Chain A
């Protein structure tokens, strides 16, 4: 591959198109393939040669691709992005003309993936020079992907085997990645709707479904819908292939806080296996109702948690920690009329100094409101009166 001439390359592409060989053609246009390192193909103006051998719009598409290999060899990702835009646009023209056939889907996957990657690289390059607004290029890439998406989604008259609709989930996953990067999560909603209403949603490849559920789960977390988040992320985790340790770890980073909020603490083994010991102290603190340890753990691994975007969710574990602490107090005192002072003392023992009796009442009121405690506060008697039956319902039954 590193030695073929331009002519040979173009001949191979032409053959692939004629034979409707989607996968091979995709390789010829993908930056994962070694041909992009071939200096004989890195040309700044290959248009004429391409026009000689290929029909429009393939000639434009391949010419743009070759120009792209040239710009990439010069490390000019801004230009590379522009070239790749032309590749995608010309591809789309060809794709739309394919009636009742979807052999070109692998090509679409390859060129759109490269588009997103170049948009990322281009932005980084511009940022390094102090120019360009974050997200501009990615948004433009998203627009292009949406155009592709529409072509796929509108193919509803073709039979299922030849339908372009099989390309939808891949594109949606690419769009999710962009929207998460530019922090415009609300744009995910219409895409989720499109898939959920499709009869094909469970027929896509497992890999695509794992990625899809991962992002849907993360979005649900962001919207504080913890039950649906747990379902999606659990699916993602269990169906993610054993060999993709990095991905499994990534899913776990988001699955763990959600499960903890629902009252399920991870085992030490699990944390060790996936190198996520940052959660160990957090888990221990929540389980024991140890607010001091929780605060310490959050501060200690702050950078990691903030970078992953889970710091704010882990802070929500505070209320669960209060609940666990107060439950211990209840078990210790063995009465259903608990003096408020006891809770204050328990907090002081956890080195929580700046809380007074009024704040304790507020925390208790919050726990009662949320259903974590069944009972009421009597200010006059300075007591928390709890129900004789199941005053601290299991966490999984609440929320």
Chain B
């Protein structure tokens, strides 16, 4: 038989068989569909921290951030962009806007480099002041990094590394900027970003092994102190992670909180490292108030007095600050002595004591902890 005839016959028979592929070839079809779905996931091709298109546009419209300007041109009518320091900004997704152009998306390797730049060269640097502006810039650019990751459905070690640094930065910021005026720092917005990043990070930990998992599970529990959901999550972690020192300490703090033992909680908090304190600090002032509430009821007696110094130690505050907290909560202080009375404690304090003022630990040691080492904590 000559080749042409055979190949013709072959073509015919293939055509005829088309309709039979329905059920038998289901697994093949599924794989083909999956492949097609994978191909439709956008892949970034922008190898710089800021896509060229955006850079030109923002430069022309005078929308560069101070930290992105070429040195010496800041005061010009139209400052020049410094390509090595410009970073893609966050932009809200909108109908009609194509956020999936490869030239505008940064691949995971570039995203990681971007985050390291933001942390090392901007957040940790002491040359950029005020830090509220640093925070505003870095948190926005980190948000854009996360956006690129979502669009490209990045997962795995790169994703985890980016999220870990973001979480440390946001935790540090929540501590350092605590009490700043709302226009410079809004704790609720920071909290939203932090919770998003944390839950994404914890979800990513489900697959594979991750070096810093214990640390971040502990940080998540501390940040969400009192949340049954967060606690239940930790209890369901594998034994290996649950028994790590970081998680055990976080669990002990959590237990002290749920057993309503503020003395124990504050005592355990002394053992936390700096970033852990950043995570838990917003719960400490309410905890101190709770101590005063419990003691107001437990020590309620006209004839009895409690030494201020000892109370200050329990509250882990300096004496004058402890006295002020008492006054704010309706607990009467007279010289070296505190008098507790259940009727005088007030739940709605008049003239609030700002959390910020309680940040200073009694021994001042870590107050000036440099940002870089904190945010980079783990490589």
Q: Residues of A at under 8 Å CB distance from B?
A: 44, 130, 183, 222, 302, 306, 309, 311-312, 315-316, 318-319, 355, 358-359, 361-369, 376-380, 385
User: In the complex where A306-B235, A312-B228, A379-B299 touch, is A369 in contact with B258 (Cβ < 8 A)?
Assistant: no
Query: Separation in Å of the A23 CB from the closest CB of chain B?
Result: 34
CB contacts (< 8 Å) of B294 on chain A: these are: 362, 365-366, 369
Cβ–Cβ contact A376 & B235, under 8 A: no
Alpha-carbon distance between A369 and B296 when the two chains are bound, in angstroms: 9
8 Å CB contact of A315 from B22, B258, B301: B258
CB contacts (< 8 Å) of B263 on chain A: these are: 358-359, 361-362
Q: List the B residue with the shortest CB-CB distance to A318.
A: B259
CB contacts (< 8 Å) of A222 on chain B: these are: 228
Q: List the B residue with the shortest CB-CB distance to A322.
A: B259
Give me the 9 closest cross-chain CB pairs, A-B, nearest first.
Answer: A365-B298, A362-B263, A369-B297, A365-B294, A368-B298, A376-B301, A378-B304, A306-B235, A379-B306
Query: Separation in Å of the B288 CB from the closest CB of chain A?
Result: 12
Cβ–Cβ contact A312 & B306, under 8 A: no
Interface band, chain B:
20 to 34
Which B residues between 20 and 68 are near A, CB-CB below 8 angstroms?
Answer: 22-23
CB contacts (< 8 Å) of B304 on chain A: these are: 376-380
CB contacts (< 8 Å) of B295 on chain A: these are: 361-362, 365
Query: Separation in Å of the A155 CB from the closest CB of chain B?
Result: 37
User: In the complex where A358-B263, A366-B261 touch, is A130 in contact with B207 (Cβ < 8 A)?
Assistant: yes
Which B residues between 255 and 303 are near A, CB-CB below 8 angstroms?
Answer: 255, 258-264, 267, 291, 293-295, 297-301, 303
Cβ–Cβ contact A309 & B261, under 8 A: no
Cβ–Cβ contact B300 & A376, under 8 A: yes
CB contacts (< 8 Å) of A379 on chain B: these are: 299, 304-307, 310
> At the interface, yes or no: B363 with Cβ under 8 Å from chain A?
no
Alpha-carbon distance between A380 and B23 when the two chains are bound, in angstroms: 85
Q: Is chain A's interface secondary structure helix, strand, loop, or mixed overall?
A: helix
Alpha-carbon distance between A319 and B228 when the two chains are bound, in angstroms: 18
Alpha-carbon distance between A300 and B305 when the two chains are bound, in angstroms: 44
Query: Separation in Å of the A82 CB from the closest CB of chain B?
Result: 14
Query: Separation in Å of the A28 CB from the closest CB of chain B?
Result: 25
CB contacts (< 8 Å) of B368 on chain A: these are: none
In the complex, 5 of the A-B residue pairs with CB atoms within 8 angstroms, ordered by the A residue number, are A44-B23, A312-B228, A355-B264, A358-B310, A366-B260
CB contacts (< 8 Å) of A363 on chain B: these are: 261
Alpha-carbon distance between A334 and B232 when the two chains are bound, in angstroms: 42
> At the interface, yes or no: B229 with Cβ under 8 Å from chain A?
yes
Query: Separation in Å of the B343 CB from the closest CB of chain A?
Result: 13
Alpha-carbon distance between A380 and B304 when the two chains are bound, in angstroms: 7
CB contacts (< 8 Å) of A309 on chain B: these are: 232
> At the interface, yes or no: B154 with Cβ under 8 Å from chain A?
no
Alpha-carbon distance between A366 and B232 when the two chains are bound, in angstroms: 24
Q: List the B residue with the shortest CB-CB distance to A183.
A: B229
Cβ–Cβ contact A359 & B264, under 8 A: yes
Alpha-carbon distance between A83 and B300 when the two chains are bound, in angstroms: 67
Cβ–Cβ contact B299 & A377, under 8 A: yes
Alpha-carbon distance between A305 and B258 when the two chains are bound, in angstroms: 17
Query: Separation in Å of the A385 CB from the closest CB of chain B?
Result: 8
Alpha-carbon distance between A363 and B256 when the two chains are bound, in angstroms: 11
Query: Separation in Å of the B206 CB from the closest CB of chain A?
Result: 10
Cβ–Cβ contact B297 & A365, under 8 A: yes
> At the interface, yes or no: B353 with Cβ under 8 Å from chain A?
no
CB contacts (< 8 Å) of A362 on chain B: these are: 261-264, 291, 294-295
Cβ–Cβ contact B297 & A315, under 8 A: no
Alpha-carbon distance between A229 and B293 when the two chains are bound, in angstroms: 28
CB contacts (< 8 Å) of A359 on chain B: these are: 261, 263-264, 267
Cβ–Cβ contact A369 & B293, under 8 A: yes
**Supplied contacts A319-B260, A379-B305, 7 more A-B pairs, CB within 8 Å:** A44-B22, A312-B231, A312-B258, A358-B310, A361-B298, A362-B263, A379-B304
